[in-house]
């Protein structure tokens, strides 16, 4: 029952926090720590892989919600619209390159340093607070600013590469992938709505690649075939977490798009600061 509860809660946390600029990885790490204190015990290699792979459910939510917009083969699209869709995909792939290269090269190093206990939780808490401060500063700077780009389709290759460079910062737990890309987009004169949507689209190749990499490493480290590498319990935890992540993401994405049309990201900044301070206080006092 503890494994089932963990998979459900992890799916909910992932589905909500992946798209909000509050760090899904940071929240999942905190959830892992809470369950470990409750006696929850699964192999650390599986948990590290699980925290990444359930993002696949979130990816599928984006595919479902934006299927027509991202589908260059849609019969209802004109030749010009199909060309624009291919152009959008080319810029999404360009933006995915920096994190893809750095992530592959530094994956083992990051796992043995910033993702290792006991410093991991301190890094998550600090990153939550620091990025929260950045969000508040940038949002106040943008308050009366006119943005050059109002939709993902208007993003050029140079801007896409710049957003991709900011996404590399998300390799540090607690920073937030969507938070990094949204901050980068804002600094590059991309409006909030366009920044949020481009962040959604960019998640597809980046998170899919990360999921495939983590599964491959997990299977290879087990020395078994992919069918034998997972226990029945692990498959249940992974399947339930991914499904819940998909369902919750459908709601979270719609909420964020509606929210940013009327509000700034400043409230997320304050949330990050408070959560980071609470975690740091707990770590120092325990």
How far apart are alpha carbons 14 and 18 in whole angstroms? Answer: 6
Instruction: Please name which of 245, 254, 264 lies closest in space to residue 65, comparing C-alpha atoms.
Output: 254
pLDDT the model gives residue 225: 66
What does the pLDDT look like over 56-90, one tens digit per residue? 899 999 999 999 999 999 999 999 999 999 999 99
Instruction: Please name which of 9, 14, 3, 113 lies closest in space to residue 58, comparing C-alpha atoms.
Output: 14
pLDDT the model gives residue 208: 87
pLDDT the model gives residue 227: 61
Tokens of residue 28, six digits: 């999942």
Which of the residue ranges 8-17, 120-129, 214-223, 264-273 would you say has the lowest mean pLDDT?
Answer: 214-223
226 — pLDDT class (breaks 50, 70, 90): low
Q: How many helices (H) and strands (E) does the chain have?
A: 12, 0
Tokens of residue 159, six digits: 């801007």
According to DSSP, the residues that pair with 149 across neighbouring strands are 190
pLDDT the model gives residue 251: 94
pLDDT the model gives residue 120: 87
Q: Provide mean pLDDT across the span 16-27.
A: 89
Q: Provide mean pLDDT across the span 23-40.
A: 82
Tokens of residue 36, six digits: 């470990």
Is residue 53 scored above 90 in pLDDT?
Answer: no
Q: Compute how many other C-beta atoms are within 10 angstroms of the C-beta atom of residue 226.
A: 12
pLDDT the model gives residue 219: 76
Dihedral angle of Cα 137, 186, 196, 89, to the nearest 10 degrees: -160
- Helices 44-53 and 192-222, packing angle to 10 deg: 150
Q: Provide mean pLDDT across the span 181-208.
A: 92
Question: pTM of the entire structure?
Answer: 0.86
How far apart are alpha carbons 56 and 203 in whole angstroms? Answer: 10
């Amino acid at each position: 029952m503890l494994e089932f509860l963990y998979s459900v809660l992890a799916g909910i946390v992932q589905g909500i926090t992946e798209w909000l600029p509050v760090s899904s990885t940071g929240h999942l790490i905190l959830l892992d720590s809470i369950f470990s204190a409750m006696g929850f015990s699964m192999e650390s290699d599986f948990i590290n892989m699980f925290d990444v792979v359930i993002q696949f459910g979130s990816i599928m939510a984006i595919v479902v919600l934006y299927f027509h917009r991202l589908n260059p083969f849609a019969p209802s699209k004109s030749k010009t619209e199909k060309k624009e869709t291919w152009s959008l995909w080319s810029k999404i792939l360009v933006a995915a390159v920096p994190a893809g290269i750095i992530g592959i090269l530094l994956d083992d190093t990051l796992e043995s340093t910033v993702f290792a206990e006991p410093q991991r939780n301190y890094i998550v808490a600090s990153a939550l607070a620091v990025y929260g401060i950045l969000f508040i500063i940038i949002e106040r700077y943008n308050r009366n600013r006119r943005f050059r780009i109002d939709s993902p389709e208007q993003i050029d290759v140079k801007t896409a590469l710049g957003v991709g460079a900011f996404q590399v910062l998300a390799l540090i737990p607690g920073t937030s992938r969507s938070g990094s890309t949204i901050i980068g987009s804002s600094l590059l004169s991309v409006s909030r709505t366009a920044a949020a949507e481009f962040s959604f689209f960019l998640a597809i190749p980046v998170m899919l690649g990360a999921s495939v990499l983590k599964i491959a490493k997990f299977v290879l480290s087990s020395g078994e075939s992919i069918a034998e590498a997972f226990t029945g319990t692990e498959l249940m935890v992974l399947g339930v977490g991914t499904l819940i992540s998909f369902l919750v993401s459908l709601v979270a994405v719609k909420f964020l798009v509606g929210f940013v049309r009327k509000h700034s990201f400043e409230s997320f900044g304050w949330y990050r600061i408070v959560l980071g301070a609470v975690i740091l206080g707990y770590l120092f006092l325990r």
